């Protein structure tokens, strides 16, 4: 079977693929999205926590169809249990049902004219300077452009980009738990000595239910239950899923024979949190617009590269921050958290910080003098802790 009727074929109906489809279709391209699973959004692979500002940048309206909870801040716990509260005093992020969220994006794409086919397993991408092809188990589809949005597996990316060898994926286990006994207005991050690769978290869905997860390169399952026993032994597990989070730098997967890559497969992820929807979505939107401009008007290459370079600049800054954080000794976290409270960092972040643009936030801290104040106070507190001065 052969199909030659598409301007764009997009592989993967996750957020990156669907946002690419939405943009390209809205500008007049014929778009076909191929999804390997029977249901869009399954299985759920992340906590589904997105900033309000991030959704706005992506042009995704807040909807009760996917929103489970809205939070106004976060609580950080050091290995010894010392906490740092960050309360913005306003709604800053939405907790979403990922299946419903992805279905919402699929509906947006369909309304713009994109076609979505499920249970379509792509086995090969055939690059070409004119008409690249996508081979599924039962069809060969030719198009003017192909977008690889397959996610973390990289099965197809390895065919197109021989250098595709991302480093930074960490296995994660997430559970839906009942009776978490925490304030639903905050998310909770736990830094543990035995979780050296990442952190543990609780993202409340409501007063009873929450998403509890940990990431670790080794012994992920046993460490998950250790964390559960330490912090949430009163909670009941209702279901579990396993996936991976990416903590590496963005990948430079340049166009190959009219084939592009977006989303997790291209490492377009916040390395500090493993969240890929906002930045992967921004890259997807730019990719969809570029494809439409290129196919319909024959231009837009330079503008596309300039806009992508700006997004990649943010991602690289976030990766450098992640690298820095990973080298801070865990025994200093107590001192850092105490210093953060004493210097008013919580108030400063509530008004000046951005939970998506970590690089810009650090620059603002340096410019305002907050970074220097925090450093001095941290060193002072560390000395007090060593001397045992309360």
Give the model confidence (pLDDT) of 189-230 as tens digits.
Answer: 999 999 989 999 999 999 999 999 999 999 999 999 999 999
How many whole angstroms separate alpha carbon 377 and alpha carbon 324?
19
Q: What's the average model confidence in pLDDT over 254-277?
A: 93
- Cα torsion through 4, 110, 264, 144, rounded to 10: 20
Q: Is the pLDDT of residue 180 over 90?
A: yes
Q: Is the pLDDT of residue 390 over 90?
A: no
The percent of residues above 90 in pLDDT, for the chain, comes to: 69
Same fold? 2-44+97-166+248-319, 169-246: no
Bigger pLDDT: 352 vs 219: 219
Q: What is the pLDDT of residues 321-337, one digit of tens each?
A: 899 888 888 888 888 88
pLDDT of residue 388: 62
Of the candidates 215, 312, 212, 217, which has an alpha carbon nearest to the alpha carbon of residue 270?
312
Q: Which of 24-33, 46-55, 103-112, 113-122 has the lowest mean pLDDT?
A: 46-55
pLDDT of residue 381: 77
Are the C-beta atoms of 48 and 101 separated by less than 8 Å? yes
- Say yes or no: domain 2-44+97-166+248-319 is CATH 3.50.50.60: yes
Give residue 386's pLDDT band: very low, low, confident or very high (50, 70, 90).
low
Of the candidates 8, 37, 38, which has an alpha carbon nearest to the alpha carbon of residue 109?
8
Instruction: For 28-53, give one letter per residue: b (16+ CB within 10 A) or e.
Output: ebbbbbbbbeeebbeebbbbbbbbee
Q: What is the pLDDT of residues 284-293, one digit of tens each?
A: 999 999 999 9
How many whole angstroms separate alpha carbon 234 and alpha carbon 352?
37
Q: What's the average model confidence in pLDDT over 80-94?
A: 91
CATH match for 169-246 among 3.30.9.10, 3.40.50.10070, 3.30.590.10, 3.30.70.20: 3.30.9.10
- What are the residue ranges of helices labelled H in the chain? 15-26, 52-58, 98-111, 157-160, 220-231, 277-297, 301-326, 333-342, 345-352, 358-368, 370-387
- Tokens read off for 72: 């106004």
pLDDT of residue 4: 55
Q: Is the pLDDT of residue 3 over 60?
A: no
Domain boundaries, the chain: 2-44+97-166+248-319, 169-246, 328-387
Q: Is the pLDDT of residue 54 over 80?
A: yes
Q: Is the pLDDT of residue 153 over 80?
A: yes
Give residue 347's pLDDT band: very low, low, confident or very high (50, 70, 90).
confident
Give residue 387's pLDDT band: very low, low, confident or very high (50, 70, 90).
low
User: Which residues does 255 contact at the CB level (< 8 Å), separation at least 6?
Assistant: none
Q: What is the pLDDT of residues 293-312, one digit of tens each?
A: 999 888 788 999 999 999 99
pLDDT of residue 341: 87
Q: What is the mean pLDDT of the chain?
A: 91
Q: What is the pLDDT of residues 365-379, one digit of tens each?
A: 888 898 888 888 888
How many whole angstroms separate alpha carbon 92 and alpha carbon 80?
28
Give residue 47's pLDDT band: very low, low, confident or very high (50, 70, 90).
confident
């Amino acid at each position: 079977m052969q199909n030659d009727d598409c301007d764009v074929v997009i592989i993967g109906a996750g957020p990156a693929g669907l946002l690419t489809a939405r943009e390209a279709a809205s500008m007049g391209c014929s778009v076909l999205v191929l999804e390997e699973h029977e249901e869009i959004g399954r299985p759920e692979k992340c906590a589904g926590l997105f900033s309000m500002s991030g959704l706005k940048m992506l042009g995704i309206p807040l909807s009760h169809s996917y929103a489970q909870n809205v939070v106004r801040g976060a609580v950080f716990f050091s290995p010894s249990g010392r906490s740092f509260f960050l309360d913005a005093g306003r709604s800053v992020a939405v907790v979403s049902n990922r299946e419903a969220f992805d279905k919402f994006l699929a509906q947006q794409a369909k309304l713009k004219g994109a076609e979505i086919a499920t249970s379509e397993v792509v086995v090969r991408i055939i690059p070409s300077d004119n008409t690249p092809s996508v081979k599924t188990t039962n069809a060969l589809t030719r198009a003017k452009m192909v977008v690889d949005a397959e996610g973390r597996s990289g099965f197809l990316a390895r065919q197109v980009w021989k250098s595709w060898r991302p480093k930074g994926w960490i296995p994660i286990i997430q559970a839906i738990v009942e009776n978490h006994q925490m304030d639903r207005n905050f998310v909770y991050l736990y830094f543990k000595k035995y979780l050296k690769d990442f952190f543990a978290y609780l993202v409340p869905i409501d007063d009873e239910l929450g998403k509890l997860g940990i990431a670790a390169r080794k012994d992920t399952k046993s460490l998950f239950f250790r964390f559960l026993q330490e912090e949430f032994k009163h909670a009941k597990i209702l279901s579990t899923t396993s996936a991976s989070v990416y903590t590496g730098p963005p990948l430079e997967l340049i166009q190959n024979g009219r084939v592009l890559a977006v989303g997790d497969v291209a490492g377009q992820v916040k390395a500090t949190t493993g969240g890929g929807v906002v930045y992967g979505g921004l890259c997807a939107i730019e990719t969809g617009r570029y494809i439409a401009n290129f196919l319909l008007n024959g231009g837009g290459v330079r503008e596309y590269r300039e806009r992508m370079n700006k997004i990649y600049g943010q991602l690289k800054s976030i990766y450098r921050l992640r690298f820095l954080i990973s080298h801070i000794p865990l025994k200093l976290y107590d001192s850092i958290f105490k210093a953060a409270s004493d210097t008013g960092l919580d108030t400063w972040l509530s008004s000046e910080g951005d939970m998506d643009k970590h690089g810009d936030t650090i620059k603002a801290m340096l410019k305002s003098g907050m970074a220097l104040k925090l450093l001095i106070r941290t060193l002072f507190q560390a000395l007090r802790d060593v001397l045992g001065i309360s």
